[in-house]
């Protein structure tokens, strides 16, 4: 099967030759790559395949075998990893230089929002190329660098591991790990110089033994997907004193946005830093003007790293991708992030909070609505509210508050059903059964009251 130019080709597999090379191979062939998180279950995968209109799914045999009739959209074929590699080798031809327009869509990365199912962020060839150039530049990557790719390749931060390292001519070692010690062993085996992770993984990595010969080759540590705590910064600086620590902030809709110069980490450990190359970051207050120093406002990302919008979703695209503020040097379309930040007199940015209800747990962006729909779909509960509650290890832990039967059998059945319907990272850490939900003056479930109650009860 040879998909036509512009066709979507999805991958659903663990890290390996196919998942690492397909992002480049698909783009070079004029196709659009749709990487699917290997942790997702068939229901979420079916949604992504149907929404993207995928014409081909390449995956591991066990994952493909889990699909049910109707999960593949009409006209979509499935192919195992080995079959795909054998087919490519049999073709026996090399692709010439790409003729793609830099503005053409090269990939669709699905990301959760606070409401509804995951939405596909359209990244152009230019987005991905300039992102690689930018990250490689400010990280100082070189040809002798070895990056350990522990992050999911369906994640924009995970894709950045590949592209920025390869742009610099370095080597990427893909790793799917079960235990934190596997990461340390891989660092030693491959003399890893660059390690990217999210805060919950950093916590685990600081709790294991790192022999000197394992730590010594590391030149840089990069963090995104959540803010580092003061204790975690101290632990990382103590454990890896020879490595530069790069706190970063990004969103899939703009690939990467800011980084903090490692020289400022000790003096400004909670800062997000400043704009990365090719990005313009503005803080816009509630009056629509550039915020004053230390005034809270919305982070707005302008410039050529801004994605092309959400795949076949004009309404949500219009909400997030809007004209750049008048103060922008780039103009055009900007990403209005929904994140509240402040900028100090030195131009350093600090995170203040989110405008929406998205849960960020262990580096994953989770839609509360997806969890709630899964719970209601079991027929075991009448109402459901999913919330993120502060957690020292996860960033936020998923809590599910439900109103339903007081039958203990039904209550015991709910987590079992959720295990079948939701991936592991979406599973509630706690399920709270209630006879009634608190209501606000409009008669709606009072999420704020539940959030405050659980926040106090489970304060770290």
What pLDDT shows up at residue 2?
A: 60
CA distance 373 to 375: 5
Cα 113 to Cα 211: distance, rounded to the nearest angstrom: 40
Neighbours of 458 (CB within 10 A): 14
Cα 56 from Cα 391, distance rounded (Å): 39
Sheet holding 56-59, edge to edge: 77-80, 56-59, 8-12, 32-35, 105-111, 119-124
Instruction: Label the pairing between strands 395-404 and 146-149.
Output: unpaired
Q: Could you tell me the two tokens for 311?
A: 């795949």
C-beta of residue 286 within 8 angstroms of C-beta of residue 337:
no
CB 57 within 8 A of CB 81: no
Q: Return the residue matching tokens 């540590």.
A: 221
- The answer to whether 296 and 311 are in contact (CB under 8 A) is no
Q: Which two tokens stand for residue 369?
A: 């609505």
Give the whole-angstrom CA distance, residue 130 versus residue 99. 17
pLDDT of residue 1: 56
The answer to whether the beta carbons of residues 225 and 157 sit under 8 Å apart is yes
Angle at 131 between CA 51 and CA 16, to 5 degrees: 65
Token pair recorded at residue 317:
């695209």
Cα separation of 36 and 57, whole Å?
Answer: 10
Spatial CB neighbours of 91, under 8 Å, sequence gap ≥ 6: none
**3-state SS assignment for residue 373:** helix
Q: Give pLDDT tens digits along the chain (460 positions).
A: 567 889 999 999 999 999 999 999 999 989 999 999 998 889 889 999 999 999 999 999 999 999 999 999 999 999 999 898 888 776 666 777 788 899 999 999 998 755 567 899 999 999 999 999 999 999 999 999 999 999 989 988 999 999 999 999 999 999 998 899 999 999 999 999 999 998 878 988 999 999 999 999 999 999 987 778 888 899 999 999 999 999 999 889 998 899 999 999 999 998 999 999 999 999 999 899 999 999 989 999 999 999 999 999 999 999 999 999 999 999 999 999 988 899 999 999 998 766 666 788 888 878 887 898 889 889 898 888 999 999 988 989 999 999 887 888 889 999 999 999 999 999 999 999 998 888 765 556 788 889 889 988 888 7
Output the pLDDT for position 124.
Answer: 96
Hey, what domains does the chain have and what are their CATH numbers?
1-94 (3.40.50.980), 123-354 (3.40.50.12780), 359-457 (3.30.300.30)
Report yes or no: 173 and 146 within 8 Å, Cβ to Cβ: yes
Predicted pLDDT of residue 59: 95
- Residues 164, 262: Cα–Cα separation, whole Å: 18
Coil, helix or strand for 404? strand
- In whole angstroms, give the CA distance from residue 73 to residue 307: 26
Calpha distance 130→108 (Å, rounded): 17
| Pairing label, strands 349-354, 321-323 | unpaired
CB-facing half-sphere around the CA of 435: CA atoms within 13 A: 0
Half-sphere exposure of 412 (CA within 13 A, CB side): 3
**CA gap 403, 41 in Å, rounded:** 26
C-alpha torsion sign, points 20, 23, 26, 27: negative
Q: What mean pLDDT value characterizes the chain?
A: 91
What is the structure's pLDDT at 351? 85
Handedness of CA 284, 290, 295, 300 (dihedral sign): positive
pLDDT at 355: 64
Residue 190 parent element (H or E): helix 180-190
Q: Confirm if 398 and 368 have CB atoms less than 8 A apart.
A: no
50-107 pLDDT tens trace = 999 999 999 999 999 999 999 999 999 999 998 988 887 766 667 777 888 999 999 9
pLDDT value of position 392? 85
């Amino acid at each position: 099967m040879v998909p036509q130019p512009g066709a979507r080709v999805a991958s659903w597999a663990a890290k390996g030759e196919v998942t690492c090379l397909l992002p480049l191979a698909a783009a070079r062939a004029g196709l659009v790559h749709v990487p699917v998180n290997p942790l997702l279950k068939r229901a979420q995968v079916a949604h992504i395949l149907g929404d993207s209109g995928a014409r081909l799914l390449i995956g591991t045999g066990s994952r493909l075998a889990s699909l049910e009739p109707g999960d593949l959209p009409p006209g979509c074929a499935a192919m195992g990893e080995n079959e795909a590699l054998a087919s490519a080798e049999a073709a026996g031809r090399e692709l010439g230089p790409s003729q793609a327009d830099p503005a053409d869509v090269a990939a669709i990365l699905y990301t959760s929002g606070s409401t509804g199912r995951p939405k596909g962020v359209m990244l152009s060839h230019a987005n991905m190329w300039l992102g690689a150039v930018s990250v490689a530049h400010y990280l100082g990557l070189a040809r002798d660098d070895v990056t350990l790719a522990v992050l999911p390749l369906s994640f924009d931060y995970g894709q950045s591991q590949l592209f920025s390292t390869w742009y610099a001519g370095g080597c990427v070692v893909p790793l799917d790990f079960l235990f934190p010690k596997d990461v340390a062993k891989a660092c030693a085996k491959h003399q890893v110089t660059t390690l990217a992770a999210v805060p919950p993984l950093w916590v685990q990595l600081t709790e294991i033994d790192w022999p000197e010969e394992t730590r010594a080759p590391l030149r840089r540590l990069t963090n995104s997907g959540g803010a580092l705590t003061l204790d975690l910064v101290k632990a990382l600086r103590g454990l890896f004193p020879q490595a530069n620590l790069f706190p970063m902030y990004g969103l899939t809709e703009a690939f990467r946005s800011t980084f903090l110069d490692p020289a400022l980490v000790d003096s400004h450990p909670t800062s997000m830093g400043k704009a990365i190359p090719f990005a313009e970051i503005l803080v816009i207050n509630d009056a629509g003007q550039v915020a004053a120093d230390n005034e809270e406002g919305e982070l707005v990302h302008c410039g050529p790293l801004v994605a092309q919008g959400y795949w076949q979703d004009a309404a949500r695209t219009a909400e997030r991708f809007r004209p750049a503020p008048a103060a922008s040097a780039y103009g055009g379309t900007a990403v209005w992030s929904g994140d509240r930040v402040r900028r100090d007199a030195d131009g350093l940015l600090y995170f203040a909070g989110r405008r929406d209800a998205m849960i960020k747990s262990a580096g994953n962006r989770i839609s509360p609505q997806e969890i709630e729909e899964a719970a209601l779909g079991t027929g075991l509960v009448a109402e459901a509210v999913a919330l993120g509650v502060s957690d020292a290890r996860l960033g936020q832990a998923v809590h599910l508050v439900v109103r339903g039967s007081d039958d203990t059998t039904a209550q015991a059945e709910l987590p079992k059903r959720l295990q079948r319907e939701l991936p592991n990272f979406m599973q509630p850490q706690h399920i709270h059964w209630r006879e009634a939900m608190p209501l606000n003056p409009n008669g709606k479930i009072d999420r704020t009251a539940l959030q405050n109650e659980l926040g106090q009860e489970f304060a770290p």
